[in-house]
Structures are given as C-alpha cells and as structure tokens.
Structure 1
C-alpha cells in the first residue's frame, strides 16, 4: 500500500507533470540528472571509463556506484514524505540526482567531476524554475503600497505571503496559495504577496528573514485593521522558524479561513444592501403638482366656449 499510494498520485498528476517536462528548465534538468547514467551506459563512451568491477566491464555500475544510487533513492524518499506539491517532488528528485552525479563523476574522473560541477553552477545562475502563471486573486505589494493597503479599511482582513523568487519553497507554494485565493477571496478577506527578496526594507519592518538558514520563507501573516494577528511559521527565540507544513489543510485550519470567509461574506452583503438603498441626498423628493387656481380654471372654460 505504501508503494501504491505514490504511484496512484503520480498517475493522477501525470498530465500536469508532462506539461512541466516540456519546459526548457525541466528538459535541461532531466538530462543533467541522468548524465552519469548516460555516460556509463552509452556504447563508444563507456569503454574508455575506469571501473572497479571484478569482471572488468566498464559499461555497468560497480558496487560503490550502486551504493551511492541506493543512498540517493533513500534520501529522495525521505524528503518527498514532506513534499506537498508535485513541483516539490520533482524538485527533490532533480536536486539530489545532481548531487549524486557530482559525487559519481568526481569518483570516476576528477576532470569530469569539475566539468559537471561547472555546468551545474552555470545552470543554477542562468536558468530559473518557471514561475506559477495560473489564475489567482492576489494583490502584489511593493515597499510603498503595503502599509497603505493594509490600513485602508479596518474591516478587511488580509493574508499576506512574504516570499522570494529564488526560494524553491516559495515557488512550490505559489500554486497552493493561488488556489486558496480563488476559494476564499471576497470583499472582507483578501490575499496579498510581497517579494522581500526585492524589497529588503519590508523584510526588516515585518521581521521576516531572507536567510536560507532561518527557513522563514515563505511566511504567511494575518493582518486585521493593519495589525499582525498571527503568522506561520512561528519564529523561536534564536530567530529560526519552527517546522510547519504549508499544506492547504493546515492553512485553512490554522487561519480559520472558513470562519473568516463566512464573516467576510456578511460584510460584503451589508455593503451591497447599503448601496442598493437610495438615500435622500441621491434622489431628492419630487415636488407635488399644484392645482390650478379657480380664476384660471374659469378662463380655460371660457376660451373653450369661444372655440
């Protein structure tokens, strides 16, 4: 059963995975992840490689390489237990496959190891994972607009994500946060994002560290009346984030989104009723028509007789 569950999940998300693999970033990452396998198994190349196998076959893995690959599989399985999206699953496989390739190439030939490591560094600096481009109801803040928006209406509750584009965790969380905004966004409950990797002053003011060691990215903060009410993940005295899983279920439960949404819908309804009721200032009373005086009525009758 433990093996069937991830298999069914993979088959369910296969169309989505197929779309990702067609993107240049994932195509290049896939080739780099299987680089050692291709070198070791490709005829015409593998014959020139060194090996520690007893039979001397250079086109097959030796016992040490099998150990490294088995250890890689164990690490990927452990990391993917905490992954919440398919992007995170694929990202973990690519990341640890590259690490294993570096070790295997250095063990095979130091020159090949240096070449592969250089390619990894160039790839990391020039290629970025594709950003989420799906539907969402999210307002993006800058350092000049965030305070104004949060304090504009005290009745509006804001959930703000503090993120950085270079963070893999933020990139994986983007689709989850977008789905939540589509389900719960309304007049009294709004969703926002601010890139603290770009606006460092915002990270200082709201005390969200951009250091990878602090593990505070992404951070979700709930604001009511412009003031912070709660945040996840919480931060301990040493400035490190307490481990917390950014699943949709956890966010709905911790932030009481269902309750907030019901209250916010009432606020939007009350606003709608007020706007529908015409006020006296908008529609002034129509003056009543005055009845014509008696003399005027007689004059009208005489003129009709003359005709």
Structure 2
C-alpha cells in the first residue's frame, strides 16, 4: 500500500519535478554526472580509449572502474541516509559522481582528467543552484531592518534563519523553513531570514560564522523582545557547530513550535497585537492584512 501511495504521489508531482529538473543547474549537473559513462560507451570514441580488460574491449568498464562505481554507490547511499529532501538526495548524487568522474578520467587519460576538472571549475563559477521559490510567510531582513523589526514589539516571538545562498545546507533547509512558516506563522509568532553571506556585519553581530569549516550555516535563532533565547546548532568553545539535523521534526521539538503557536494565538485574541499582519510577507513584499484568507503566492527572490 505504501508503495502504491508513493507511486501515485510521484506521478501527481511529476509536472513540478519535470519543471524543476529542467533548470540549467540540474541539466548541466546531470551531463557532468554521466560524462564518463558517455565517453566509455559512445561508439566511434570508446574504441580509442585505454582499457585493462583481458578481452581488450575498450567500450566496457574494466574491473577497477566497476570497483570505483560500486564504492561511489555505497558512499551515496550512506550520505543519503541523513538526507530529508529530494534536493539533498540529488545533490549528494551529483557531488560524489563528479568526484568519481575526476578519478576515472585521470585514470583513463591525464588530458581528459584535466579537461573534466576545468569543466567542473567553470560549472561552479557560472552555474548556481536554483533557490527555493515556493510559498512562504517569511520576512527578509537587511542589515538596517533586522534590529528594528526584532525589537518593535516585545510580545512577538521571532524565529530567524541566518543563511547564505552559496551554502547547499541552507538551500536544502529552505523548503523546510518555508513549510514551517506556513503552518505556524501568526501575529505573535513570526518567521524571518537574513543573508549573512551578503551582510557580513550581521554575521559578526550575531556571532554566526560564515566559514564552511565552522559549519554554522544555516543557524536558526529564537528571539523574544529582541533578545536571543536559543539557537540551533549550538556552538562549542572552538567556534564549531555542534552536529544537529535540520529537519521539520527537530525544529518543532527543539523550538517547541506547537506550544509557541498556541500561546501566540491566545496573545493575538486576548491582547490584540496592532499593526502586525497575521501573515508576514511572501518573498520580500508584505502581505495585505485583508489577504489573510488567500493562498500564499510564490516568492520571487533573486537567483
């Protein structure tokens, strides 16, 4: 029954998946992932390649290449055990496939290896992964607005994500954070985001390191009256993030979102928070208070 449900779900979302996979980043990543396979199997080209097969068939994998591909499969499966979104699964596949391709091409011919590495560098410099563009109730802060918004009303609790567009972990977490904002946003509990990759002063002010080695991105903080109450992931004495999994279950449990949401709804009814929309902005534009009953629109963020 679960398999049948999964199949129907896949076909239901197939148009969205099809549109998503046709984006230039994924098309180019797919071509680079299958590059060695294409070179090794293309008639007219594979006959001129070196091989260690006993039968001399240069159009098929030798035992060492099969060993590398099997090792790649094992690594991808291990990494995907901790993946929670389709983007994470596909991202792991693309990343480790490119590493395997580098090894395979250098083993086949140094010139092909250098050419493939050059293409990888050009790909990283010119092709950025697409940002999440779905519905959300999130306010995007700048370096000039974050302090004012967090301190505007002491009764409002803010959950703020500190992110950078270049971080694959932030991109994977984006749809999860957006979904939480759709479920739990209200006048007394609001969601915000700030790009610390763009606003370096904010990263220093809120002690969020943008170094890939620190692994602090994304960081999610809970604010009350402009004061930080808690953050995840926590940071140790060496400035490195303590391992923490950014999934919906952990967010709801650690930040106690169900209880916060209930208290915020009571606050809204009892005290009547004035001047605050029950649904903050979609993307970067504040929603009209009269549009609370409408479906959220897709955010239009810069690529």
- TM class by shorter chain equals 0.7 to 0.9
Higher relative contact order (CA 8 A, sep 6+): 2
Larger Rg over CA atoms? 1
**RMSD across aligned C-alpha pairs, in angstroms?**
1.9
| Alpha-carbon distance in structure 1 between the residues aligned to 2:230 and 2:265 | 21
Deviation at 1:25, TM superposition (A): 1.1
Paired residue for 2:170? Answer: 170
Paired residue for 2:52? Answer: 52
Q: 2:25 aligned with 1:18, yes or no?
A: no
| Alpha-carbon distance in structure 2 between the residues aligned to 1:273 and 1:209 | 34
| Alpha-carbon distance in structure 2 between the residues aligned to 1:212 and 1:13 | 34
| Alpha-carbon distance in structure 2 between the residues aligned to 1:8 and 1:38 | 35
Evaluate the alpha carbon distance shift between residue 262 and residue 209 of structure 1 in structure 2; reply closer, same or farther with a 3 A threshold. Answer: same
Q: Is the 8 A contact 1:13 1:86 kept in 2?
A: no
Q: Is the 8 A contact 2:221 2:229 kept in 1?
A: yes
Paired residue for 2:225? Answer: 225
Evaluate the alpha carbon distance shift between residue 76 and residue 164 of structure 1 in structure 2; reply closer, same or farther with a 3 A threshold. Answer: same
Q: Is the 8 A contact 1:161 1:221 kept in 2?
A: yes
Q: 2:191 aligned with 1:191, yes or no?
A: yes
Q: What's the TM-score once normalised by structure 2's chain length?
A: 0.86
Report the secondary structure of 1:57's partner residue.
Answer: coil
Q: Is the 8 A contact 1:40 1:60 kept in 2?
A: yes
Paired residue for 1:138? Answer: 138
- Structure 2 portions without partners, runs of 5+: 276-303
| Alpha-carbon distance in structure 2 between the residues aligned to 1:240 and 1:55 | 52
Q: Is the 8 A contact 2:161 2:219 kept in 1?
A: yes
Deviation at 1:8, TM superposition (A): 7.7
Paired residue for 1:34? Answer: 34
Deviation at 1:271, TM superposition (A): 3.9
- Structure 1 portions without partners, runs of 5+: 276-307
Evaluate the alpha carbon distance shift between residue 17 and residue 273 of structure 1 in structure 2; reply closer, same or farther with a 3 A threshold. Answer: closer
Deviation at 1:84, TM superposition (A): 1.3
Paired residue for 1:113? Answer: 113
